[in-house]
Amino acid sequence: MQNKERIYYIDILKSISIFSVIVIHIFALGNSAKVMNITISYFAEIFKFAVPVFLMITGSLLLNRNYQSNYSFLKKRIKRITIPYLFWIILIILALIIPNGMTSQPEITECIYTTFFNFPLSWYFWLMIGVYFTIPIINEFIKTDKLNSTKYLVIMFVISSILYQLLSFFKAYTYIDLTFFILPIGYLSLGYFLSGLEFKNKRNVLIISIIIFIITSIIEVLFNQDYNLNLIFANFPAGFTSLLDVSIIRIIQATAVFLFIKNLPLKKFKMKKFFTSISKSCYGIYLVHIFIYLIVFHYVPVKGTGSEIMLLFLSSSVFIFLISWIIVLIMSKIPVLSKFSGYA
């Protein structure tokens, strides 16, 4: 029964996270309008636990496993995300070139390169490529001494996050290099660690998780500080950048979300099929929503009062989420398109 319950809470986590990703992208358009004297785009901070939670789910599912070989693991995982990505990124490139009337070769070449490698809405794909190459190494490390190895990585993740957050806050500099621990490896290890935690009083966990989520979300919205890795890798010679938030506040927020959903009483939950379908469609929704997003906001103007724009963003999030899900489901049923659907 534990295995089934674990699958259900992961399905719910994935469903909530993919919807949150859509909300984040849409709310990014609200840089000028305000609600309660807060710029609308800042409200996206409430939902930015999404990518950390996705990474935590990946860690809980893929770490401490026996794989036939690193090659077979990488081939399966990278192929699964690359084929759908290429299909949809080509459609997105066409959607950018044709409506904007791009005709010159330099302009088209720049559009193709920028969209394929540096399109802000598709950075998660490149993040996951790196994650999959990392997992075989981390997996062997955790398998040697499951609990202690995981605790070590999680503790170093938290310490490194606090250290660099303080350095950033005080605008200080140091030669101390703990950046290895605040890469995605931190969230992978945290997810695996949390997935193995069991609490006797789950009701208290639910209450505490809600309180922590509310507090951390308020902090993020009101202060809205830049916690990106760009601060840490500002002088990195290869020009590496990342949108992965590794602030201690975000780590705590994502942990609260993970533990809240994990400890929900799901035995009599009546929407399991719905969330399972969303979960299986998750990667496809991520890819499809970018295309739908571009189409919707090419024709729908973002104007009005702050409350009107907020309502527009919320309704658009639900609309794009549902349309993307339906498209993925339809594609998954068509043999010639199923491999491009992102449905797993």
> For 175-197, what is each residue's pLDDT tens digit?
787 878 888 999 999 999 999 99
Query: Which residues lie below 8 Å from residue 270, measured CB to CB, with a gap of 6+?
Result: none
How confident is the model over 51-83, as pLDDT tens digits?
999 999 999 999 999 998 999 999 999 999 999
CA 114 to chain centre: 21
Q: What confidence tier does 235 reach under pLDDT thresholds 50, 70, 90?
A: very low
Query: Which residues lie below 8 Å from residue 309, measured CB to CB, with a gap of 6+?
Result: 30, 33, 40, 302, 303
Averaged pLDDT, 308-315: 95
Q: At what angle do helices 248-262 and 185-195 cross, to 10 degrees?
A: 30
Is the confidence at residue 312, as pLDDT, over 90?
yes
Strand partners, 34: 39
Q: Which of 101-110, 158-167, 170-179, 329-338 has the lowest mean pLDDT?
A: 170-179
Averaged pLDDT, 324-339: 96
Give the pLDDT score at 232.
41
Q: Which of 14-18, 89-93, 129-133, 174-178 has the lowest mean pLDDT?
A: 174-178
Q: What confidence tier does 47 reach under pLDDT thresholds 50, 70, 90?
A: very high
Taking the C-alpha atoms of residue 52 and residue 16, their distance in angstroms, rounded to an integer, is 12
Taking the C-alpha atoms of residue 177 and residue 63, their distance in angstroms, rounded to an integer, is 25
Give residue 29's region: left, alpha or beta (phi > 0; psi -120 to 50): alpha
